[in-house]
Amino acid sequence: MTVSATRKDLMIVNMGPHHPSMHGVLRLIITLDCDDVIDCEPILGYLHRGMEKIAENRTIIQYLPYVTRWDYLATMFTEAITVNGPEQLGNIQVPKRARYIRVIMLELSRIASHLLWLGPFMADIGAQTPFFYIFRERDLINDLFEAATGMRMMHNYFRIGGVAVDLPHGWIDKCLDFCDYFLTGVAEYQKLITRNPIFLERVEGVGVVGGEEAINWGLSGPMLRASGIQWDLRKVDHYECYDEFDWDAQWQKEGDSLARYLVRIGEMTESIKIIQQALEGIPGGPYENLEARRFDKARDSDWNDFDYRFISKKTSPSFELSKQELYVRVEAPKGELGVFLIGDHSAFPWRWKIRPPGFINLQILPQLVKRMKLADIMTILGSIDIIMGEVDR
C-alpha cells in the first residue's frame, strides 16, 4: 500500500535538454513543492564546441565562418566583433560606404533575431499564431541577405577593412520596400499581442529585475534597459556610424517580462528608422579598404613561382596581430557581445575570449524563478532570450 504524499515532499523534475532547433540544448533541474518552484539549477555545456580554442589556431579570415555558429540567429554581430578587434589593433580605417553597409546589415540582423525571439516566446506561453506570422517577415530579411551575401543564415560577409562584396543593383530599393512593409507588420503584432488580456496576465509582474540588481548581475541589452537603465553601446561607444542617424534607445522601468517584450518591439521599429536613414544617405566609394589586404609575410612567394602557379591551395590573406591586448564590444540583440583579444606578432590570436550576452544574462534565471509557479519558468526563460550556441560556445 502506497503512502500518500505530504506537502513536505519535494519533487525534482528535469526540464530539458530541449531540442537544439530553437533556444538550444538547455537542461534545468527544478525542485518543486507542488506547483511552486523552490530551486532551479541550469546545466550547460551540451553545445560546447571549443570556439575560443579554435580561434587560436586560425587566422581571422579562416575563423570568420566559425563565428556565425555562436549566435546563429544574429550572425552579422558575431562577424562584426570578429573583424572589429583586428581593425582596432592594426588601426585599419574602414571606408564610409562599408560602415553604412555594415550598419544596414547589423540592424536587419537585429530585427531577424528579435522576430525569432518573439515567435517562440509567444508559443512558449500558449499563443501559436505569432509564431507563424514572424516567419513571413523574417523570410523577407533572409531574401535580402541572400541577395547581398549569397547565404540566408551563415553569411561570412564582413571583412577586415570593410565587407566582402558591394550591394547588388536594385538591393537598396528592395530594402526600402521591406522597411515600409515591416512597419505595418509591427503594428499588426502590437494589435494582436500587446493589449491581449491573456498575454498580459502571463507576463505582467513576472520575472521582475530591479535596476541596481541588473547592474550587479552584469546584465546587458534588453534585459538591462527593461529595468530602467538607459545603456546602449551604440550610443555609448559610437562604433561604426550610429552617431550620424537619428534614433532613440528603447527602455522601460518596470523590469518584468512585459517590459522586456516592449523594449524588443520598440527596438525593431528603431532599427527600421536607422536602416531607412542609412539607405537614403549611403555614400559612394569603395566597400573595402584594399590596403588592409596583406599576404602572409612568412611565405613571401612571388606571383610566378612554383607554389603559386601549380599548388592549388593558395594561402589565404592573413593579418599580423600586434603584441597588445584589446577588448571590443558591440550591442547585439541579446546584449553586450564582446571579445578579449591578445595579439602576439602572429597571424593567430594568442588568446580569444568571448563574452556572450546570453551566458551572463542566464545567470539570473535561478533567482527569478524561485517562489514562482512552474508555468512561469517558460515565460521568464523566454523573456531572457538565450541562444545556447553562444552560451556554450
Q: Which amino acid is at 334?
A: K
The set of long-range contacts for 154-157, using a CB threshold of 8 Å and a minimum separation of 24, is: 154/65, 154/68, 154/69, 154/72, 154/75, 155/68, 155/75, 155/76, 155/79, 155/105, 156/64, 156/65, 156/68, 156/79, 157/76, 157/79, 157/105
What does the pLDDT read at residue 292? 61
Strand partners, 326: 341
What does the pLDDT read at residue 378? 85
> What is the C-alpha separation between 127 and 103, in angstroms, rounded?
33
Backbone angles phi, psi at 302, to 5 degrees: -80, 160
What is the model's pTM?
Answer: 0.86
What does the pLDDT read at residue 92? 82
Strand partners, 287: none
330 Cβ contact partners less than 8 Å away, ≥ 6 residues apart: 77, 80, 81, 84, 106, 233, 239, 336, 337, 338
CA distances for 246 relative to 145, 241, 249, angstroms: 24, 11, 10
Q: Which amino acid is at 310?
A: F
What does the pLDDT read at residue 291? 60
Q: Which amino acid is at 224?
A: L
Helices and strands: H and E segment counts in the chain:
16, 8
The grid cell for 370 is 524561485
3-state secondary structure of 352: strand
Cell 551563415 maps to which residue?
154
How would DSSP label each residue in 30-96? Answer: EEEETTEEEEEEEE--TT---HHHHHTTS-HHHHHHHHTTSSTTSHHHHHHHHHHHHHHHHTPPPPH
- With beta carbons less than 8 A apart as the criterion, state whether 374 and 35 touch: yes
295 Cβ contact partners less than 8 Å away, ≥ 6 residues apart: 315, 317, 318
Q: Which amino acid is at 361?
A: N
Each residue's pLDDT expressed in tens, for the chain with a length of 393 residues: 344 455 567 888 888 787 545 567 888 888 888 888 888 888 888 888 888 898 888 888 888 888 888 888 888 999 999 988 888 887 888 888 999 999 999 999 999 999 999 988 888 888 888 888 888 889 999 999 999 988 888 888 888 888 888 898 989 999 999 999 999 888 888 888 888 888 888 888 888 888 888 899 989 989 999 998 888 888 888 888 888 888 888 888 888 889 999 999 999 999 999 999 999 888 888 787 766 655 444 445 454 555 544 444 445 566 777 888 899 999 999 999 999 988 888 888 888 899 999 889 988 988 888 888 888 888 888 888 888 888 888
Neighbours of 68 (CB within 10 A): 23
CA distances for 163 relative to 55, 94, 233, 341, angstroms: 20, 9, 22, 21
